A and B are shown apart, each in its own frame.
Chain A
Amino acid sequence: MAALLASLRTPRGLIVALILLVFAVLPLLTQAFDQRYLLSIGTRIVIWSIAAISLNMILGYGGLVSFGHAVFFGIGGYAVGILAANGLQSAWLQWPVAIAASILWAALVGALSLRTRGVYFIMITLAFAQLVYYVSAGLEAYGADDGLNISRSRFPGLIDLRDKASFYWLCFVLLLGTLWFCGRFANSRFGFVLRGAKSNDQRMMALGFPVFHYRLAAFTLSGAFGGLAGILLANEGAYISPAMMSWVKSGDLIVIVVLGGMGTLFGPLYGTIAFFVLEESLKPLLDLVHKGWGEYWQIVFGPMLVLIALYARGGIDSLLGRRHG
């Protein structure tokens, strides 16, 4: 608690506190200013943040560039959607099944891909994600390419996910839980092994760590949280489609983590906020300049990324001054 209060005195701590405070009361703000649309963007930012944090576990702390992370949006989402379409709407059933499916898939992909390095690792994770993508696009019973409208998960008597504000707060609480876990994880024995292996895996093996096992565990853990984000994403729009897990989404997640600051606790959060805010503001701005240009907002976003890559290696997080501790 004392450490928490002390961290509030640094600019970095203040910014984090401010962001979390705004997030905590967002539904009240959007209601007060009658901006329903903003709440939907806020909800997506929170969900994507969970996914970005989960990718950061392996990409940032583990140095493993997984180029198929959006597949967990798909697996989490489709598990919920397929069960819902078959009349099984209880979240108590859907959510554990969705997480279990994500864990199984992550363990399988990890067991094969983690035997490779560098570009091969990137290609294998991408290939497995594409596999699931095309399978989902072939599921005629569940909308194939077009996707499927689903009814939201039910927590009978507890919370109604159809209520936008309640759903938002549920996502926010889950984001806090994910942040809490990731903060502990990063400085745990496990986290140090993972980070040590990123720094010098030969050395870690020579010290006696079976590095592969730890990486596989991290990959699986990351998949579990990714699946959680998928569950939430399907419930947010009451809709699932293969597009949830297109490789472009996987690329966006990497961009978000790099933009925010790899291997930092709050980097993925900064990255997600920056990504969505830029998208939502650049689009109308460019449309003002010339109707239809908004679609090409990444023409402006791209060079910004290049600048970050060239001059701010640590991403947005590094722009907030020195980290302490």
Chain B
Amino acid sequence: MVEPLLHTDRLVKRFGGLIATDTVSIDVRPGEIHALIGPNGAGKTTLVSQLTGNLAPDAGTIHFAGSDVTHLPTHARVRLGLARSFQITSVLREFTALENVALAVQAHAGHSFRFLADVRRDETLRAPARQGLEAVGLGARAGTLASVLSHGEQRQLEIAMALAGDPKLLLLDEPMAGMGAEESQRLIGFLRALKGKRAMLLIEHDMDAVFQLADRITVLVYGRAIASGTPDEIRANAEVRQAYLGDETVEVA
């Protein structure tokens, strides 16, 4: 059995009386796409926030790439190879698309206590940034301010930024949110091409995308992981059908 890249052990997070994460143990293996699904309010974003270091769990541990990262700050986890995209688009609006990705490249190019050299002529940052933009299909928009990009383009930009540091694991928080059918399909194709090269934890409402992409699926309901398995196993799981999928969703796959 392969050593998992990411592993949470009985993670617990409470908000007052509410248990948002209820002893959740999940793992993501190298190269696989692991999807996290569940109805609204199931605690998916809370779980992701603990993985990224934006929220501290009340109990349990998080191991990533062989080390205990439970108490590491966000930027240190990113250095280890854990990148994320945001559910609500989060790009640097006052910067161009190219500058956004170049900053993401810069984050992994040693410290940035360099005060004099002009970053706008730094090909060691710009060349990989341009490649990253090409890869997600934004090559033609390199010089455009991020705030001017369409919603779908901003989502693509997010992915390019997350990929810039060559991460081991991508946390994708609803990457298809607000995308048109065509854009979604393009992104699905792009993510599928990445499969095997990079592990991904995919949080997504679009069941179509989930069943097309995921190697394994974990279902979260009221903070608890009620089931975990291959898409076929999840589709066949009676508890999942009752709690979440509903009969009409099943035919999707």
Residues on A facing B (Cβ under 8 Å): 181, 184-185, 187-193, 195-196, 199-200, 202-211, 214, 217
Give every chain A residue within 8 A of B113 (Cβ-Cβ).
189-190, 214, 217
Bound CA–CA A214/B107 (angstroms): 12
Closest-by-CB residue of A relative to B105 is A207
Q: Are A206 and B86 in contact (CB under 8 A)?
A: yes
Bound CA–CA A208/B114 (angstroms): 17
Q: Are B118 and A210 in contact (CB under 8 A)?
A: no
Bound CA–CA A86/B114 (angstroms): 39
Give every chain B residue within 8 A of A203 (Cβ-Cβ).
86, 90-92
Bound CA–CA A192/B95 (angstroms): 10
Instruction: Judge whether B84 is part of the interface by a CB distance below 8 angstroms.
Output: yes
Q: Are A192 and B165 in contact (CB under 8 A)?
A: no
Say how far B155's CB is from chain A's closest CB, in angstroms. 14
Bound CA–CA A127/B95 (angstroms): 34
Bound CA–CA A199/B100 (angstroms): 11
Closest-by-CB residue of A relative to B85 is A206
Give every chain B residue within 8 A of A209 (Cβ-Cβ).
75, 107, 112
Bound CA–CA A188/B118 (angstroms): 5
Say how far B86's CB is from chain A's closest CB, in angstroms. 7
Q: Are B106 and A192 in contact (CB under 8 A)?
A: yes
Give every chain A residue within 8 A of B75 (Cβ-Cβ).
205, 208-211
Q: Are A189 and B120 in contact (CB under 8 A)?
A: no
Give every chain A residue within 8 A of B107 (Cβ-Cβ).
207-209
In the assembled complex, 25 residue pairs joining A and B whose CB atoms fall closer than 8 Å, in A order, are A181-B115, A184-B115, A188-B116, A189-B112, A189-B114, A190-B113, A192-B112, A193-B103, A193-B112, A195-B95, A200-B93, A203-B86, A203-B91, A205-B75, A206-B74, A206-B84, A206-B90, A207-B104, A208-B74, A208-B79, A208-B107, A208-B108, A214-B112, A214-B113, A217-B113
Give every chain B residue within 8 A of A185 (Cβ-Cβ).
115-116
Instruction: Judge whether B193 is part of the interface by a CB distance below 8 angstroms.
Output: no
Interface SS, A side:
helix
Q: Are A200 and B91 in contact (CB under 8 A)?
A: yes
Bound CA–CA A302/B92 (angstroms): 34
Contact of B118 among A184, A195, A200 (CB under 8 A): A184
Give every chain B residue within 8 A of A208 (Cβ-Cβ).
74-75, 78-79, 107-108, 165
Instruction: Judge whether B177 is part of the interface by a CB distance below 8 angstroms.
Output: no
Closest-by-CB residue of B relative to A202 is B90
Q: Are A189 and B119 in contact (CB under 8 A)?
A: yes
Give every chain B residue within 8 A of A217 (Cβ-Cβ).
113
Using a Cβ–Cβ cut-off of 8 Å, how many residues does chain B contribute to the interface with A?
A: 34
Say how far A148's CB is from chain B's closest CB, in angstroms. 36
Bound CA–CA A184/B116 (angstroms): 5
- Give the residue among A184, A188, A214 with the most B Cβ atoms within 10 A: A188
Q: Are A188 and B119 in contact (CB under 8 A)?
A: yes
Say how far B22's CB is from chain A's closest CB, in angstroms. 26
Give every chain A residue within 8 A of B92 (Cβ-Cβ).
196, 199-200, 203-204
- Known A-B contacts A199-B93, A200-B92; the reply to A207 vs B115 at CB < 8 A is no
Q: Are B78 and A206 in contact (CB under 8 A)?
A: yes
- Known A-B contacts A184-B116, A206-B86; the reply to A189 vs B94 at CB < 8 A is no
Say how far A25's CB is from chain B's closest CB, in angstroms. 29
Say how far B194's CB is from chain A's closest CB, in angstroms. 19
Give every chain B residue within 8 A of A210 (Cβ-Cβ).
73, 75
Instruction: Judge whether B117 is part of the interface by a CB distance below 8 angstroms.
Output: yes
Q: Are A187 and B120 in contact (CB under 8 A)?
A: yes
Contact of A191 among B74, B108, B119 (CB under 8 A): B119
Say how far A84's CB is from chain B's closest CB, in angstroms. 32
Bound CA–CA A202/B74 (angstroms): 10
Contact with A along B144-181 (1 / 0, CB 8 A): 00000000000000000100110000000000000000
Give every chain A residue within 8 A of B218 (Cβ-Cβ).
none
Given A188-B114, A209-B112, 16 more A-B residue pairs with CB atoms under 8 Å apart are A184-B116, A188-B119, A189-B122, A193-B106, A196-B92, A199-B94, A199-B95, A200-B91, A200-B92, A200-B93, A203-B86, A203-B90, A206-B52, A206-B86, A207-B161, A207-B164
Give every chain B residue within 8 A of A187 (Cβ-Cβ).
118-120
Instruction: Judge whether B204 is part of the interface by a CB distance below 8 angstroms.
Output: no
Give every chain B residue within 8 A of A206 (Cβ-Cβ).
52, 74, 78, 83-84, 86, 90
Instruction: Judge whether B99 is part of the interface by a CB distance below 8 angstroms.
Output: yes
Contact with A along B178-194 (1 / 0, CB 8 A): 00000000000000000
Closest-by-CB residue of A relative to B146 is A199
